[in-house]
Amino acid sequence: MGHGKALLSSASQTSGLLFSRREVLTQAACGAALATAAPYLRPMEYLLAGDVAAERIRQSFDFQWKFMKGDAANAHLQDFVDGGWRDVNLPHDWSIEGPMDEDAASSGPGGYMPTGIGWYRKRFHVPAAYRDRIVTLQLDGVYQNSEVWINGHSLGLRPYGYVPFFYELTGRLNFGGENVVAVRVDNSRQTNCRWYSGSGIYRHTWLQVTHPLRVAQWGTFVFCPRVSKDAAAVEIRTRIANGGRGAAQCTLMTAILDRDGKTVQSTVNVQNVEANDSFEFVQQMTLEKPSLWSPVSPYLYTVRNTVRESGRVVDVYDTPIGIRDAVFDADRGFQLNGEHIKLNGVCIHHEAGCMGAAVPERVWERRLETLREMGCNAIRTSHNPFATEFLDLCDRMGFLVMAEAFDEWKVPKEQIRYGYSLYFDEWHERDLTNFLHRDRNHPSIILWSAGNEIGDQSAPDGAQTLRGLLNIFHREDPTRPVTAACDRIASDPLSNRVRPEFLAELDIVGYNYVDRWHERAELYYSIDHAAFPMRRVIGTESVGMGGIRGDYSSLLASAERAPRHMMLLQQNLNIDVEQLWKFVGSRDYVAGDFMWTGIDYLGEAFWPMKSSLCGAIDTCGFKKDSFYFYQSQWAAKPMLHLFPHWNWQGKEGQVIPVTCYTNCDTVELFLNGKSFGVKGYEFPRIGMEGTYGNFPARAKTLRTTADLHLSWDVPYEPGELKAVAVKNGSVVSTAAVATTGSPVAIALSADRMILAADRRDVSHLVVQVLDEQGRMVPLAENEIAFAVEGEGRLIGVDNGNPFSHEGYKGAHRQAFNGMCLAIVQATARAGAVRITASSPNLRSASLLLNTMEA
C-alpha cells in the first residue's frame, strides 16, 4: 500500500482548494507608469524601484530579449556581442515558425516541425538599493534541456521542459549596474515528446525581489479538512524563509478575504526563524457560511500572508483559493459539495495551433469558452504540466481538472528515443515537487495523474516506482487522490498486461480505452466493478468522434480521398462513442470520462498530415460536427445541428446520408418543403411509474432509433434542407443547410473589439468566404491575405486543415472549407488597429479594433 492510503479513505476526498498561489503584489506608484512604457522604450530593462523595506516586487521578465537559433560559443558571457540577434518577447516558440519538413527530426510525434538549439539573452538593471534583498528569476517553462547563466555564472540545468523552476540571483548581480541573463535551450535530441512540444522559453518569466524574511517560493498551502454549507475548517501552512544574516522574530498574520477584498477571518502567530533557515507556520481558522466553489459558481477567496519583523511589514503574499469538498466514491462516482457530478471531460494538449506552445491567455480562454458551450466540465492536462495561467482560467471559469505529471517514467516509449526516462531517476522528485507546490492550491484540480500509458505498469518494479511517486504526491498534497492512465488493463499479450499490484497502489484506477480489448468492447467497466467493488474508476482517455471540419468525402464511397473502408471506419467510430457514452452516462460508479481529444493538436501525425484530427474543435478553435454530438448529450439547453453541407453538384439523385444531433424529443426533416419524416430517440429511456401502463410524458415521445443521433437517406437535389425540432410539444429549434453559389466576398469578424495595450492581449479574426446571398461557401479554398495597421501585429494564421503545409507566421492563408483564422496581438500603446482581409476576385473586408491602456 502506498503512503497515501492512510490519508485517503475508500471515498477518496480532495479537500477545499484554491487557485494559483500567485506572488502578485503591489508595485510602486512610479512602477505602475513604467511597467509598460520603460521596457518598450529602452534597450535595457530597469527593475522597478519601490519601498525597499517592505515591498515584494514581481515583475514580468518577458520583454526585450535577444534570440538566435543555433549554437554559439561563449554566448553565456556578459560581454558577448548579441547585436545581430533577433529581438523577441516571451513566451516564444521557435519551432512553430517552421518550416514543416517531411524529413524533420521531430517527425510525426512533433508535427514535422524544426527543433534544434537556441540561445536567449537579456540585459537588465537592478537598483543599488536592492543590494540587501533577495532577487529571484522564475521561468514557467523552457523546452527543453536548458542552462541559465547570470553575468557569465551558470545557475543550473533543467532537462524537463514542462515544469516551472527558479534561481536566486542575489550573489551574482551587479547592483546599480548592467546584468545579463543568458539561456541555452537544447531540443536537438529527437524524438523526445508526445506530442508537439515547441522549442524555447515558451512560457512566462518573472523577476522577483523580496525582503530576506519572506514567504518562500510557492510557500503557502491552503486546504480545508472539513467543508459544509454551514462552515469550513481552513488550514494554512506557510513556509517562511530567512535569508538574512541573523535570526529574526517573524510575526505572520494570515487573513481570508472575500471576492470584494473584505477580511472575513484572520489569525496571527509569532516565531523565531534562524538565519539561512525556514519555518512552516500551521494556522487554522473556521469560515462560517462559506461561498463554495463549483462549476456553476466558481467563487474565489484570497488568503493574504502579511509578514512583519520588529513590527514592520516586510512581505505580503496573496494566494487565491476556492473552498469545496470533492469526493470520489466506488459506488457513487464523483461528488462535489455533496452533489453528484458526472465528469464530462476532454483531454487537451498544451499547444494551440498557430501559436504553438507559446499560447496567449486569451487563446486559452476562447477555447475553454467553446468547450464550456459544448457542455464540457472537466479537462485532463495530457500529458504534462500546463501553464499556471491555464489553471487560473479553469479556477475562474469553473472547470474540473485532472492534472498530469509525466508521459514516461523509467521505461521508454517506442515512438520516443530521448524521452523523460533518461532523466527520471535524477530529476523526478524535484520536477514533481515543483509541479505540486505551484499547483496544489488550484480549486479546479480534483485529481492528480502520475503518468500516461506508462510502460512501467507492466514492469516487475513498476509498482515500486509508482509507490515512490505516490509518497511524493501525498507528502506534498495529502488532500487529493492520484491516478494513472492505464492502457493495458485487459490487453494482450498477457506478458504486457498491467500488473495487479500496480493497480492496487492507485487511489483511483484510470482506464485508457476501456472498450479496446475482448468482451470489454460491450461490457466496459462492469467486469472490474463486479470483481473489485471497492475500486474507484474513471475513464482517463476514451475515443472521440473527431474528424476533419467540413469534410464529408467519406459519405460517398466513390470519393477519391475516402474509400469505402474509411466510411465504415468513421461509422464504427461514431457507434463506439455513442455506446460508451450510454454506459458511462447511466452508471454513477464511473466518475466520468475524458474524451480524446477536445481540440486538435500538432503531432501524432503521418505525413502529409502534420496534426491530429481527434478533436471536437479544430486547431483554429472552430467547431466540428462532433462538437454538437457532445453538446447534445452534455448540455441542457435545447439544440439542433444538421449536416452535411448541401453543395453536391454533379451528384443529383444520389442518396446522401443526412444526420442531426439534438437533445430535443423529435425532429422533422424537409428538403425544399417536402417532408422526409419525423424521427426521435430517448436516452436514458424511462419506464412506467406509479401504476402499470403509466408512462411519464418524456417516455411517450416517438422513438425511431436506439442511436444518439437521427439520420435520413435523402436523394440529392439543390435547394434547402431544413430540420424542425420539438420538445415538450413545442417547436424549440430549427436548422437549415442550403446549396450556395460561388464565392464573391469575405466576411471578417472578431471575438473582441477592444484589447488591453499590454503586448499580450489578442483578438481572433475569423474569415468566412460568402456567396452573393451572404451564405458561407462550404467548399471555398480561396487564399486570404491579411494586412494589419496601427497598434497591433499579426502573430499567427491557420485554417484547421491537417494536410496544410502553409506557414503559421505568414500574412496569408488559404481558406479551408470556407474558413480561416488570423490572430492579432496588441502593442504597448493605446490606439486603433485596422485589419483587412483580401483575396483576388472577392470583395475584401476590414475591421477596426481599439487598444486601451491596461
Beta strand segments in 382-501, E:
400-404, 445-452, 482-486
Sign, CA dihedral 28-393-615-637, equals: negative
State residue 475 phi and psi, 5-degree precision.
Answer: -70, -45
d(CA 93, CA 69): 11
CB 203 within 8 A of CB 117: no
Q: Within 10 A of 365 (CB to CB), how many other CB atoms are there? A: 18
d(CA 48, CA 33): 10
Residue 811: partners with Cβ closer than 8 Å, 6 or more residues away: 785, 786, 787, 794, 797
Whether 541 is catalytic = yes
Q: Give the distance between the most distant pair of CA atoms in the chain.
A: 90
Looking at the DSSP bridge assignments, the partners of residue 777 are none
Looking at the DSSP bridge assignments, the partners of residue 655 are 715
**Catalytic option among 404, 408, 453, 806:** 453
C-alpha cell at 502: 500496480
d(CA 46, CA 363): 29
CA triplet 221, 224, 230: central angle to 5 degrees? 150
d(CA 399, CA 345): 9
Whether 147 is catalytic = no
* Cα dist from 399 to 293, 296, 375, 380, whole Å: 11, 9, 11, 10
**Catalytic option among 541, 668, 791, 806:** 541
3-state secondary structure of 833: strand
Sign, CA dihedral 618-621-622-624, equals: positive
3-state secondary structure of 286: strand
Residue 829: partners with Cβ closer than 8 Å, 6 or more residues away: 40, 757, 791, 851
116 φψ region: left (φ > 0), alpha (ψ -120 to 50), beta (else): left
Residue whose C-alpha cell reads 534597450 in the numeric block: 43
CB 815 within 8 A of CB 782: yes
Per-residue DSSP letter, 428: H
d(CA 63, CA 423): 31
d(CA 106, CA 116): 10
Q: Within 10 A of 93 (CB to CB), how many other CB atoms are there? A: 23
How many residues would you count in the chain? 854
Residue 640: partners with Cβ closer than 8 Å, 6 or more residues away: 660, 661, 662, 664, 667, 723, 725, 733, 734, 735
The candidate with the shortest Cα–Cα distance to 520, out of 448, 585, 580, is 580
Per-residue DSSP letter, 457: G
In the sheet where 312-321 sits, what is the strand order?
263-273, 248-257, 301-309, 312-321
Pairing of strands 831-839, 812-814: unpaired
Pairing of strands 301-309, 655-662: unpaired
C-alpha cell at 173: 548581480
Over 68-103, what HEC string results?
A: EECCCCCCCCCCCCCCCCEEECCCCCCHHHCCCCCC
C-alpha cell at 625: 460536427
* Cα dist from 453 to 456, 458, 481, 592, 689, whole Å: 9, 10, 18, 18, 45
d(CA 314, CA 244): 12
Active site residues: 453, 541
